[in-house]
Structure 1
């Protein structure tokens, strides 16, 4: 406080001393009084011009509407197969078996055995229903094609055998057999007398051809021919080798190895069927089966285009699955209308 007073007193003293000095220049005094509004600032100081700062334009914030979020589509729930269905068993039974194997607790093993028992019981139900479905349906009942009774099946076998012998004799009129052999081949010696029987019973002409140029022991076929490169051209690499030769010089292999008389005749008939030397009807008569004309595959193949249309109508084009009731109705209609 004392300091503050000293400063005031000093200022007042200084003010007292000022008038005599200022009186020396009246012009200056008069100007001072005339310009008293300027206060104590008796000299004019140029006030610099204020620089105007550029106006900062604040960016306008434009409110944008939030984007509409696309609706979240619910995820498709993949449902597994129905419990105890065939698909369920195919997928899960091995898992239960593995579980029982890896961790053979009483509970795990018992669950697997329950499921196995279920499958066996269901199989038995399927078998029983199969019998019910087959009875009385000539297209499904195997008794219609091949009797199970011994006396009937044996009689059918004899009929088929007679047809086979008859057909073989008819083929013998159009074709013969090339018999390639080696004199040191035991299998060739075994096959020779069987071919003699084929010639005697069914009338086939046998042309024996010796690959090593020597005859078979006991002169079974004394009038043989010596191979002149035919065996190599035909690809013979095992003996005996049999070939069926038609009157038009068409050659078809029968076998390379030993066959029984019945097997030789059966293969001759197969080769003749493959070459078209016999008809389908002639070939079917050699089978110990009845009613071969009732062939579901042959009958339905002709109607496959109609079945495809039915499948399209069911709106299941991915698998072309036809409901059982519709398929059964179609099959019965087509089978029985043609018979």
Structure 2
């Protein structure tokens, strides 16, 4: 009787220790029973929910007591375990167990995506498309509004800003970019000061000056040309637009972004 009691006590201790542990997957080759699919969705034998499967530990039985991140990690570990079993021992049973569990997680992900969409529809502050539409009609309207806003900005630019255009007479990209800068200057009445980095002339801007430190004072680094800089006459602050050859639309877009939008507002 003494030995039996000791044996029962030992077994009870082992059971209590096992119950306190958070199960990740079954110790034997059987699958883990998932409460989400077995009890909430009642999907039965497709997800190993039959009574004869109750010998396997229940996955995440007390979500309130287990952090969600651990619950999610346990699902990932179980999926990896079932996949590894199927690869190392590709029996019909192992493959079926992996495929069933994988399908269950795909279903869970689909539900997440569905609820995500519904939540966005019902909470406009979460809907990014109000700021940057993605459907064809909304995108076209947004682009037309942005185009009008850029044109308005460029039309008023000369009232506050001047432009420094740094070039080199030996630079082929500068020879292509010069007419683009000249066209923007003529179209929007921009005052452009062309600054030669090598002392050479400029066909588009005959009244050029030679660099005597303006490049560094405008916040530019290196010796890259062509380079374009806006100068704010109110704040006395230079605003580098960029380096290299740019199309007129790109120059306008950068000027609009740098002068009219807050960082992150378009994303």
Q: CA-atom RMSD, angstroms? A: 3.3
5 Å-filtered alignment, 1:164-175, equals 164-175=150-161
For structure 2, list consecutive stretches of 5 or more residues without a partner in the other structure. Answer: 1-12, 25-57, 61-70
Runs of 4+ in 1 over 6 A off after TM superposition: none
**1:183/1:97 CA distance change after superposition, 3 Å:** farther
Choose which of 222, 228, 237 in structure 2 pairs with 1:250: 237
C-alpha deviation, 1:211, in angstroms:
0.8
C-alpha deviation, 1:250, in angstroms:
1.9
Alpha-carbon contact 1:191-1:258 (below 8 Å) kept: yes
Match of 1:96 in 2: 82
Match of 1:79 in 2: 22
> TM-score, normalised on structure 2?
0.63
Alpha-carbon contact 1:134-1:140 (below 8 Å) kept: yes
C-alpha deviation, 1:257, in angstroms:
1.6
Alpha-carbon contact 1:179-1:209 (below 8 Å) kept: yes
C-alpha deviation, 1:138, in angstroms:
2.8
**1:123/1:196 CA distance change after superposition, 3 Å:** same
| 1:182 to 2:168 alignment | yes
Distance 2:161 2:266 in 1: 25
5 Å-filtered alignment, 1:172-251, equals 172-216=158-202, 219-231=203-215, 234-247=220-233, 248-251=235-238
5 Å-filtered alignment, 1:327-338, equals none
Deviation string 1:49-73 (CA, Å, 9 cap, x unpaired) is xxxxxxxxxxxxxxxxxxxxxxx9x
Match of 1:332 in 2: none
**1:152/1:240 CA distance change after superposition, 3 Å:** same
**1:79/1:182 CA distance change after superposition, 3 Å:** same
Match of 1:269 in 2: 256
Total equivalences in the alignment: 204
Residue aligned with 2:252, SS: helix
Deviation string 1:148-170 (CA, Å, 9 cap, x unpaired) is 55344312211122112212333
For structure 1, list consecutive stretches of 5 or more residues without a partner in the other structure. Answer: 1-71, 274-282, 290-339
Residue aligned with 1:139, SS: helix
> TM-score, normalised on structure 1?
0.51
